[in-house]
Amino acid sequence: MARDWHPILQAREYQPGRWVMEDSMGRPFALIDFVKRGPERGYRVRAWRRQEVGPILGYYTTLAGAAKNAHQRWISRSVPSGAPYAGITWPTQPDPWG
């Protein structure tokens, strides 16, 4: 079912501790690395642009959180001018209860 899907399913671990996020055509859009900073452990998300690693998008404490945020950034970058249907005014429906 669609509600059971999570962006972590788009993450493919190609080396221990390194994941690539790919779209449905197999094109990478983000890289996730397991990182350690002193006693802390987490995940660093970087954008993927034109065959090279782009800027850091953030640090997360879970792989699921990193994948979710990488996916959300990719979706928002894919939609022109922000929100879908931006600037469209929808006709209003009459209230059936008056």
User: Tens of pLDDT along 77-89?
Assistant: 766 655 555 555 5
pLDDT at 76 over 50: yes
Q: Are 73 and 47 in contact (CB under 8 A)?
A: yes
Residues 44, 93: Cα–Cα separation, whole Å: 46
**Residue of higher predicted confidence among 19 and 75:** 19
**Domain ranges for the chain:** 2-77
Q: Which string of DSSP letters, residue by residue, matches 48-68?
A: EETTEEEEEEEEESSHHHHHH
| 75: enclosing H helix or E strand | helix 63-78
Q: Are 72 and 30 in contact (CB under 8 A)?
A: no
Radius of gyration for the chain, computed over Cα atoms and rounded to the nearest angstrom: 18
Global pTM value: 0.71
**Residue of higher predicted confidence among 74 and 43:** 43
